[in-house]
Amino acid sequence: MNRTIDPSVVPINRPRALAPARILGIESSCDETAAAVIENGRALHSNVVASQIDLHAQYGGVFPEVASRQHIRTIYAIVDQALHQAHLTLADVDAIAVTRGPGLAGSLVVGINMAKGLALGRNLPIVGVNHLEGHIYSAWVYPAGENPTAEPQFPLLALLVSGGHSELILISGHLQYRRLGGTLDDAAGEAFDKVARLLGLPYPGGPSIQKASEEGNPKAFQFPRARLEGSWDFSFSGLKTAVLRLVRQFEDDRRPLPVADLAASFQAAVVDVLLTKTVKAAQTFQAHQILVAGGVSANRALRQAFLSQSDFHVHIPKLSLCTDNAAMIAAAGYFRFAHGQRDPLDIDALPTWPLS
């Protein structure tokens, strides 16, 4: 039982005021059961994710009842494994961070109850974390034992693109957010998932579209880009409808569907809109750097587009931290814990919880 903090994993540019701490993170907001241990909000000791993708693929999307039951089955083993892989026990942990929302109510409560049980049994504090904040803090994480990655510098313009959200957020300092805009209809990941279904590609749609796009021409079809000038919001429903119309046209004409070209052209339209608006927002609000996070930030074309523009330095988490995981919850939980947050043992899930 080692309660001392290894100084080699303390990031050099961590503000002095923040006390060192080890956090166990737990995430179960949707279809991933995950646990992780992180030190000082950045150095990752373990990161265990049990995906339920295979279970839900047959339904073409996440089946909430199936998701919560599966979380119950796996969560104990996942937490155990995360501690084991970190070569730590609960006695070495300073707090438990758990996703409180947004997400599926029946899934969230499984993680929250696990956190409560551990906290009660070990007299540890609980820190409830907003899942969106978790995605943001995934950009702070690096593997313990390796050189720390450059820490994001404020003010940051964050693009958060996942299955449920497409948000532009101005971050002026730790835990200080100003939401500039979001999607008016489908989230970016949701658009990927729905268009994949239209093209007959398997769930989850994002990776399927990316794969199909590799064989396609992104300029084959000129899909509409909803620019929504004068607003920081996004809209993807027009784009989705445009794909639907083309698919119907091909079917009516009994012509084979050019899946790869459709996928590549759709993906190019999404990336174009996301990149253009994010860079413009960063310029307008005089952000220092850009941060891209959430499941869609795993997209290769999106990553390439952001990393090849030269106006801003861009932070994008490594692939394993883009989709849902508990490392990001532990990281955000650390910054909340270090700023004094302690939640009562009767905290409840918040299925709808805007970041503020």
Based on CB atoms, which residue is closest to ligand KG4, 166 or 289?
166
Q: Does 323 bind ligand KG4 (CB under 6 A)?
A: yes
What is the spatial distance between Cα 148 and Cα 9, in angstroms, rounded to a whole number? 8
Q: Does 164 bind ligand KG4 (CB under 6 A)?
A: yes
Based on CB atoms, which residue is closest to Zn ion, 268 or 332?
332
Residues in the chain: 356
CB of 274: closest distance to ligand KG4 in angstroms?
11
Based on CB atoms, which residue is closest to ligand KG4, 11 or 102?
102
CB of 282: closest distance to Zn ion in angstroms?
22
Interface with ligand KG4 (CB under 6 A), residue total 20
Q: Does 163 bind ligand KG4 (CB under 6 A)?
A: yes
Based on CB atoms, which residue is closest to Zn ion, 160 or 199?
160
The radius of gyration computed from the CA coordinates of the chain, to the nearest angstrom, equals 20
Burial (CB < 10 A; 0-12, 13-18, 19+), residue 28, is: buried
Collapsing DSSP states into helix, strand and coil, what is residue 8? Answer: helix
Choice from 162, 183, 208, 299 touching Zn ion (CB under 5 A): 162
177 with 171: CB under 8 angstroms?
yes
Residue 106 contact, options Zn ion, ligand KG4, none, Cβ 5-8 Å cut-off depending on partner type: none
Q: Does 111 bind ligand KG4 (CB under 6 A)?
A: no
274 with 161: CB under 8 angstroms?
yes
What is the spatial distance between Cα 275 and Cα 20, in angstroms, rounded to a whole number? 36
140 with 316: CB under 8 angstroms?
no
CB of 237: closest distance to ligand KG4 in angstroms?
15
Q: Does 52 bind ligand KG4 (CB under 6 A)?
A: no
Quick one: tokens of 290? 């850009």
Binders of ligand KG4 among residues 55 to 74 (CB under 6 A) are none
Q: Does 193 bind ligand KG4 (CB under 6 A)?
A: yes
113 with 119: CB under 8 angstroms?
no
Based on CB atoms, which residue is closest to ligand KG4, 47 or 299?
299
* DSSP, residue by residue, 79-139: HHHHHHHTT--GGG-SEEEEEEESS-HHHHHHHHHHHHHHHHHHT--EEEEEHHHHHHHGG
Looking at 84-92, 161-169, 263-271, 312-320, which segment touches Zn ion (CB under 5 A)? Answer: 161-169
Q: Does 107 bind Zn ion (CB under 5 A)?
A: no
Q: What distances in angstroms separate CA 21 from CA 95, 117, 120, 127, 187, one per listed residue?
A: 8, 20, 19, 13, 35
Looking at 68-76, 160-168, 234-242, 346-354, which segment touches ligand KG4 (CB under 6 A)? Answer: 160-168
- Here's the x/- map for ligand KG4, 273-302, by CB under 6 A: it reads as ---------------------xxx-xx---
Residue 39 contact, options ligand KG4, Zn ion, none, Cβ 5-8 Å cut-off depending on partner type: none
What is the spatial distance between Cα 78 and Cα 167, in angstroms, rounded to a whole number? 30
Q: Does 134 bind ligand KG4 (CB under 6 A)?
A: no
Choice from 324, 325, 329, 337 touching Zn ion (CB under 5 A): 324
Q: Does 28 bind ligand KG4 (CB under 6 A)?
A: no
Q: What distances in angstroms separate CA 334 from CA 37, 44, 345, one per listed residue?
A: 10, 12, 18
Q: Quick one: residue 176, left, alpha or beta (phi over 0 = left, psi -120 to 50 = alpha)?
A: beta
Choice from 9, 23, 30, 97 touching ligand KG4 (CB under 6 A): 30
Q: Give me the residues that bind Zn ion (CB under 5 A), please.
A: 162, 324
Q: Give me the residues that bind ligand KG4 (CB under 6 A), please.
A: 30, 162-164, 189-190, 192-193, 204-207, 210, 294-296, 298-299, 323-324
